[in-house]
Amino acid sequence: METLNHETEQKLKELQKQKHACDRLLLKCEWVIGVLSCIVLLAPIVLGSLLPMEEWKRVVLVFSGFIPAMVGICFSVKIEQVAGYYVCEHCGKKHVPTYKAVFLAPHMGRTRYMTCPACGKKSWQKKKVETK
Protein backbone atom coordinates (compact mmCIF):
# COMPACT_ATOMS: atom_id res chain seq x y z
CA MET A 1 0.00 0.00 0.00
CA GLU A 2 2.86 2.40 0.88
CA THR A 3 4.60 1.70 -2.43
CA LEU A 4 1.37 2.30 -4.36
CA ASN A 5 0.82 5.67 -2.62
CA HIS A 6 4.42 6.67 -3.30
CA GLU A 7 4.13 5.75 -7.01
CA THR A 8 0.85 7.64 -7.31
CA GLU A 9 2.38 10.68 -5.65
CA GLN A 10 5.36 10.58 -8.04
CA LYS A 11 3.04 10.35 -11.06
CA LEU A 12 0.98 13.27 -9.81
CA LYS A 13 4.12 15.40 -9.39
CA GLU A 14 5.20 14.48 -12.92
CA LEU A 15 1.77 15.44 -14.31
CA GLN A 16 1.93 18.74 -12.45
CA LYS A 17 5.35 19.51 -13.97
CA GLN A 18 3.97 18.73 -17.45
CA LYS A 19 0.97 21.03 -16.87
CA HIS A 20 3.23 23.90 -15.78
CA ALA A 21 5.44 23.41 -18.86
CA CYS A 22 2.33 23.42 -21.09
CA ASP A 23 1.05 26.60 -19.38
CA ARG A 24 4.34 28.39 -20.05
CA LEU A 25 4.27 27.27 -23.71
CA LEU A 26 0.63 28.39 -24.07
CA LEU A 27 1.47 31.85 -22.72
CA LYS A 28 4.30 32.17 -25.25
CA CYS A 29 1.83 31.22 -28.01
CA GLU A 30 -0.59 33.82 -26.65
CA TRP A 31 2.07 36.48 -27.04
CA VAL A 32 2.80 35.45 -30.67
CA ILE A 33 -0.92 35.34 -31.58
CA GLY A 34 -1.45 38.76 -29.94
CA VAL A 35 1.41 40.40 -31.86
CA LEU A 36 0.29 38.86 -35.17
CA SER A 37 -3.29 40.00 -34.53
CA CYS A 38 -2.10 43.59 -33.97
CA ILE A 39 -0.11 43.48 -37.22
CA VAL A 40 -3.14 42.10 -39.10
CA LEU A 41 -5.26 44.90 -37.61
CA LEU A 42 -2.83 47.80 -38.17
CA ALA A 43 -1.18 46.96 -41.52
CA PRO A 44 -4.35 47.54 -43.63
CA ILE A 45 -4.98 50.83 -41.80
CA VAL A 46 -1.45 52.08 -42.60
CA LEU A 47 -1.66 50.87 -46.21
CA GLY A 48 -5.13 52.41 -46.62
CA SER A 49 -3.86 55.77 -45.45
CA LEU A 50 -0.75 55.75 -47.66
CA LEU A 51 -1.81 54.23 -51.00
CA PRO A 52 -3.79 56.27 -53.54
CA MET A 53 -7.11 54.54 -54.36
CA GLU A 54 -10.86 55.06 -54.59
CA GLU A 55 -12.62 55.80 -51.30
CA TRP A 56 -14.74 52.62 -51.21
CA LYS A 57 -11.61 50.50 -51.77
CA ARG A 58 -9.84 52.38 -48.96
CA VAL A 59 -12.72 51.67 -46.55
CA VAL A 60 -12.74 47.96 -47.47
CA LEU A 61 -8.96 47.77 -47.04
CA VAL A 62 -8.93 49.57 -43.68
CA PHE A 63 -11.63 47.29 -42.21
CA SER A 64 -10.31 44.07 -43.81
CA GLY A 65 -8.04 43.27 -40.86
CA PHE A 66 -10.69 43.80 -38.18
CA ILE A 67 -12.37 40.35 -38.17
CA PRO A 68 -9.13 38.26 -38.38
CA ALA A 69 -7.61 40.39 -35.60
CA MET A 70 -10.68 39.94 -33.37
CA VAL A 71 -10.51 36.14 -33.85
CA GLY A 72 -6.82 36.16 -32.84
CA ILE A 73 -7.44 38.40 -29.84
CA CYS A 74 -10.34 36.20 -28.62
CA PHE A 75 -8.07 33.12 -28.80
CA SER A 76 -5.31 35.00 -26.95
CA VAL A 77 -7.70 35.90 -24.14
CA LYS A 78 -8.88 32.27 -23.94
CA ILE A 79 -5.28 31.08 -23.63
CA GLU A 80 -4.60 33.66 -20.93
CA GLN A 81 -7.71 32.51 -19.04
CA VAL A 82 -6.86 28.79 -18.92
CA ALA A 83 -3.05 28.85 -18.55
CA GLY A 84 -1.94 29.33 -14.95
CA TYR A 85 -4.01 31.28 -12.41
CA TYR A 86 -4.56 34.73 -10.89
CA VAL A 87 -3.86 35.71 -7.28
CA CYS A 88 -6.08 38.11 -5.29
CA GLU A 89 -4.17 41.08 -3.84
CA HIS A 90 -6.42 41.18 -0.73
CA CYS A 91 -6.77 37.56 0.43
CA GLY A 92 -4.11 35.77 -1.67
CA LYS A 93 -6.66 33.29 -3.11
CA LYS A 94 -5.52 31.57 -6.31
CA HIS A 95 -8.30 31.30 -8.90
CA VAL A 96 -9.07 30.75 -12.59
CA PRO A 97 -11.65 33.39 -13.59
CA THR A 98 -14.36 32.98 -16.23
CA TYR A 99 -13.69 33.90 -19.87
CA LYS A 100 -16.13 36.82 -19.56
CA ALA A 101 -14.33 38.17 -16.48
CA VAL A 102 -10.94 38.02 -18.22
CA PHE A 103 -12.25 39.43 -21.53
CA LEU A 104 -14.05 42.41 -19.96
CA ALA A 105 -11.45 43.28 -17.30
CA PRO A 106 -9.25 46.36 -17.76
CA HIS A 107 -5.66 45.20 -18.03
CA MET A 108 -2.01 46.17 -18.29
CA GLY A 109 -0.26 43.24 -19.94
CA ARG A 110 -1.40 40.16 -18.04
CA THR A 111 -2.37 42.03 -14.86
CA ARG A 112 -6.15 42.43 -14.78
CA TYR A 113 -8.54 44.39 -12.57
CA MET A 114 -11.03 41.71 -11.48
CA THR A 115 -13.29 40.69 -8.64
CA CYS A 116 -11.99 37.91 -6.37
CA PRO A 117 -14.45 34.96 -6.11
CA ALA A 118 -13.44 34.35 -2.47
CA CYS A 119 -13.54 37.81 -0.83
CA GLY A 120 -15.54 39.71 -3.49
CA LYS A 121 -13.12 42.66 -3.59
CA LYS A 122 -11.74 44.14 -6.82
CA SER A 123 -7.98 44.34 -7.26
CA TRP A 124 -5.21 44.24 -9.84
CA GLN A 125 -4.46 40.51 -10.15
CA LYS A 126 -1.32 39.15 -11.76
CA LYS A 127 -1.19 36.07 -13.99
CA LYS A 128 0.95 33.42 -12.32
CA VAL A 129 2.45 30.25 -13.71
CA GLU A 130 4.52 27.88 -11.61
CA THR A 131 8.17 27.87 -12.68
CA LYS A 132 9.74 24.42 -12.49
**Residues at the contact surface with Zn ion, assessed by CB under 5 A:** 88, 90-91, 93, 116, 118-119
User: By C-beta, is 15 or 91 nearer to Zn ion?
Assistant: 91
Q: Distance between CA atoms of 16 and 3, rounded to whole angstroms?
A: 20
Q: Distance between CA atoms of 110 and 79, rounded to whole angstroms?
A: 11
- Amino acid identity of 128? K
User: By C-beta, is 40 or 114 nearer to Zn ion?
Assistant: 114
CB of 92 to Zn ion, least distance (A): 7
User: By C-beta, is 73 or 87 nearer to Zn ion?
Assistant: 87
Q: Distance between CA atoms of 96 and 83, rounded to whole angstroms?
A: 9
CB of 128 to Zn ion, least distance (A): 14
CB of 88 to Zn ion, least distance (A): 3
CB of 42 to Zn ion, least distance (A): 37
User: By C-beta, is 17 or 90 nearer to Zn ion?
Assistant: 90
The CA-based angle 56-60-63, given to 5 degrees, is 135
**Which contiguous run of DSSP H or E holds residue 122?**
strand 122-128
Q: Distance between CA atoms of 41 and 43, rounded to whole angstroms?
A: 6
